[in-house]
């Protein structure tokens, strides 16, 4: 009996040893083949397409100044597009294979976003490259005139033409999960500059202006009238044209049925230009009333109520300083540099601050989640 027990012991030990070796071999095999399994499960590529101006690009004047003359797009990856992509519906909604195609161009107008291609609503320019007037349909002077690089090269195409090349009439190389569009701010800025120039010339040449009794009043009246009767209708038409081409089922159209997030406008000049809040708020309301009903796959992200609290001037000033670069001491211009001016330290860069950009991304995501086409 003892001999039998003695013989059984070694066999049991050897069995355990063999079992351990087999387990170790299997473990090593798993390590060897794990990368192959991981590669097999690589998530499919999907696309988020960002169209717009410097806000989508991620521009701030301070970043531009600090990095000049090396304006690599990598320095501007904290804007609306990147912020929204971090939120974009959560991992369960879009997935890890999401790629940002950011075609945004700093300084772009609603005309420039369309371009000169008449087949998609463009027109031949009657003004020189670099002009932001209503007769200029030149695309992206930031790149095509100044030679500064973009996140996504447009070549000689407009942003709308580039978008159509990606959408491929409803058969994109990679599914397009979302499109954001923010455009029109540079149209507004061009109109303001035009009024300021016109009033200055009137007072220089005639000592008065048809717009008002004082230069300040004249500029304000000119801006208000031009915004309501010229600039806002022009931007609304162009936004409608852009969205219409992207959604169009006609040959050459985008055939896109997915979610589009249309970004609204905040007012960085609330303190600099008295009365401008009412204009900007009214324009946001006009977008909601005149654009959204025509495009069921478009939802609106309106930053005005956050960036411009509007209840009291003091509260609004705090909000403007928080969400924009207007109070950044490193980028003050004109009265913002004058210690004797009421605008001292408050006339800086109109672009969002870091917290402003994050907030825009969050608002875009909220609009995305509310979009019936997602």
- For the segment 335-359, what is each residue's pLDDT rounded down to a tens digit? 999 999 999 999 999 999 999 999 9
Question: Is residue 249 classed exposed, middle or buried when 0-12, 13-18 and 19+ CB atoms within 10 A define those classes?
Answer: exposed
Phi, psi of 122 (to 5 degrees): -80, 175
Burial 351-361 (b: 16+ CB within 10 A, else e): bbbeebbbbbb
Burial 309-346 (b: 16+ CB within 10 A, else e): bbeeeeebbebbbebbbbbbeebbeeebeeeeeebebb
The CA distance from 65 to 195, in Å, is 28
Quick one: pLDDT band at residue 149, thresholds 50, 70, 90? very high
Q: Is residue 35 part of a domain?
A: no
Q: What's the whole-number mean pLDDT along residues 85-102?
A: 84
Note the pLDDT of residue 42: 79
Q: What's the whole-number mean pLDDT along residues 91-115?
A: 91
Q: What's the whole-number mean pLDDT along residues 26-37?
A: 44
Q: What's the whole-number mean pLDDT along residues 64-91?
A: 93
The neighbour count for residue 236, using CB atoms within 10 Å, is: 18
pLDDT > 70 fraction of the chain, expressed in percent and rounded: 88
Scan for tokens 């609306």, then name that residue: 80
Q: Which of 9-13, 186-190, 224-228 has the lowest mean pLDDT?
A: 9-13
The CA distance from 357 to 65, in Å, is 19
Q: What's the whole-number mean pLDDT along residues 92-118?
A: 93
pLDDT value at 109 more than 70: yes
Per-residue HEC secondary structure of 38-96 comes to: HHHCCCCCEEEEEEECHHHHCCCHHHHHHHCCCCCHHHHCCCHHHHHHHHCCCHHHHCC
Q: Is residue 65 part of a domain?
A: yes
Q: Is residue 329 part of a domain?
A: no
Scan for tokens 């387990």, then name that residue: 23
pLDDT value at 226 more than 70: yes
Quick one: pLDDT band at residue 292, thresholds 50, 70, 90? very high
As given in the structure block, the two tokens for residue 63 are 């970043």
Give the tens place of pLDDT for each residue, 280-289.
Answer: 999 999 999 9
Domain that holds residue 173: 44-185+234-323+353-369
Scan for tokens 């954001």, then name that residue: 180
**Residue 171: CATH number of its domain:** 3.40.50.1110
| Number of domains forming the structure of the chain | 1
Quick one: pLDDT band at residue 310, thresholds 50, 70, 90? low
pLDDT value at 4 more than 70: no
Q: Is residue 309 part of a domain?
A: yes
Note the pLDDT of residue 93: 73
Quick one: pLDDT band at residue 91, thresholds 50, 70, 90? low
Q: Is residue 84 part of a domain?
A: yes
Q: Is residue 335 part of a domain?
A: no
pLDDT value at 11 more than 90: no
Q: Is residue 208 part of a domain?
A: no
Is-contact 132 166, C-beta < 8 A?
A: no
As given in the structure block, the two tokens for residue 15 are 């069995």
As given in the structure block, the two tokens for residue 158 are 């407009």
pTM equals 0.87
As given in the structure block, the two tokens for residue 131 are 């002009």
Q: Is residue 89 part of a domain?
A: yes
């Amino acid at each position: 009996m003892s001999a039998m027990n003695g013989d059984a012991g070694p066999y049991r030990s050897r069995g355990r040893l063999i079992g351990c070796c087999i387990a170790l071999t299997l473990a090593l095999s798993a390590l060897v083949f794990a990368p192959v399994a991981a590669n097999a499960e690589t998530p499919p590529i999907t696309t988020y397409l960002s169209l717009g101006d410097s806000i989508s690009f991620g521009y701030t004047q301070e970043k531009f100044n600090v990095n000049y003359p090396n304006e690599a797009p990598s320095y501007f990856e904290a804007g609306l597009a990147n912020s929204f992509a971090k939120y974009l519906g959560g991992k369960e909604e879009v997935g890890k294979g999401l790629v940002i195609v950011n075609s945004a161009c700093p300084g772009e107008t609603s005309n420039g976003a369309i371009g000169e291609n008449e087949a998609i609503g463009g027109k031949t320019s009657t003004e020189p490259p670099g002009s932001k007037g209503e007769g200029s349909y030149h695309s992206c002077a930031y790149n095509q005139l100044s030679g500064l690089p973009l996140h996504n090269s447009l070549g000689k195409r407009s942003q709308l033409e580039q978008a159509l090349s990606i959408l491929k009439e409803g058969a994109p190389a990679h599914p397009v999960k979302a499109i954001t569009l923010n455009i029109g701010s540079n149209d507004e800025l061009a109109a303001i500059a035009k009024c300021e120039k016109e009033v200055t010339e009137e007072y220089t040449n005639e000592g008065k202006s048809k717009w008002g009794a004082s230069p300040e009043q004249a500029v304000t009246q000119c801006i208000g009238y031009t915004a309501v009767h010229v600039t806002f209708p022009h931007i609304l038409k162009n936004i409608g044209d852009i969205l219409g081409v992207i959604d169009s089922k006609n040959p050459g159209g985008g055939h896109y049925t997915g979610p589009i997030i249309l970004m609204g406008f905040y007012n960085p000049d609330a303190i600099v230009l008295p009365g401008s809040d009412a204009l900007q708020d009214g324009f946001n309301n006009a977008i909601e009333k005149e654009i959204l009903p025509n495009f069921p796959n478009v939802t609106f992200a309106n930053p005005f109520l956050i960036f411009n609290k509007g209840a009291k001037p003091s509260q609004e000033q705090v909000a403007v300083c928080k969400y924009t670069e207007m109070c950044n001491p490193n980028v003050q211009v004109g009265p913002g540099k004058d210690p004797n001016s009421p605008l001292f330290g408050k006339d800086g860069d109109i672009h969002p601050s870091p917290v402003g950009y994050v907030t825009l991304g969050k608002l875009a995501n909220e609009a995305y989640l509310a979009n019936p086409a997602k």
